[in-house]
């Protein structure tokens, strides 16, 4: 990491969406990105767990309800994240997934 958050006219332009960020590896990824100055959308199926994780992570963490197995939830989350960073021209963005959707062959 070590790049730090970038800003344009005072707006943070480094945004990440981390799925499964309410615990484990996802939470640690979110914590490190926030510590490095990023705005991080903490994705979780349970928005209350996302809020708890955000309280623990602090800084630029933002709760986001997201169930990667539900196309409607994915579309809603995409709209939320897109609307959050569209105003920041030249923004850098990443998506880190610590989850995998369950399926018949998993």
Please indicate, yes or no, if residue 6 is contained in any of the structural domains: no
Please indicate, yes or no, if residue 11 is contained in any of the structural domains: no
Are the C-beta atoms of 42 and 63 separated by less than 8 Å?
yes
Please indicate, yes or no, if residue 76 is contained in any of the structural domains: yes
- pLDDT over 60 at 7, yes or no: no
Please indicate, yes or no, if residue 38 is contained in any of the structural domains: yes
pLDDT in tens, 55-90: 999 988 999 999 999 999 999 998 888 877 665 545
Lowest mean pLDDT of 5-14, 23-32, 75-84, name the range. Answer: 5-14
The model's pTM is 0.73
Degrees (nearest 5) of the Cα angle 21, 81, 28? 20
Please indicate, yes or no, if residue 40 is contained in any of the structural domains: yes
The 39-44 sheet, strands edge to edge: 61-65, 39-44, 14-19, 92-97
Looking up residue 68, the CATH number of its domain turns out to be: 3.40.50.720
- pLDDT over 70 at 21, yes or no: yes
Please indicate, yes or no, if residue 86 is contained in any of the structural domains: yes
Rounded CA-CA distance 76/29 in Å is 22
Are the C-beta atoms of 24 and 18 separated by less than 8 Å?
no
In angstroms, what CA-CA distances link 30 with 9, 27, 81, 89, 98?
24, 5, 15, 23, 11
- pLDDT over 90 at 51, yes or no: yes
Residue 86 is predicted with a pLDDT of: 62
Number of domains the chain contains: 1
Residue 106 is predicted with a pLDDT of: 45
């Amino acid at each position: 990491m070590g790049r730090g958050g970038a800003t344009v006219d005072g707006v943070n332009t480094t945004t990440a969406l981390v799925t499964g960020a309410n615990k484990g590896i996802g939470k640690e990824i979110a914590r490190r990105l926030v510590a490095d100055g990023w705005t991080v959308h903490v994705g979780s199926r349970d928005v209350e767990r996302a809020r708890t994780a955000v309280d623990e992570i602090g800084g630029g963490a933002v709760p986001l309800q997201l169930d990667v197995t539900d196309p409607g939830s994915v579309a809603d989350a995409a709209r939320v994240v897109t609307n959050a960073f569209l105003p920041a021209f030249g923004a850098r963005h990443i998506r880190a997934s610590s989850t995998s959707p369950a399926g018949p062959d998993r």
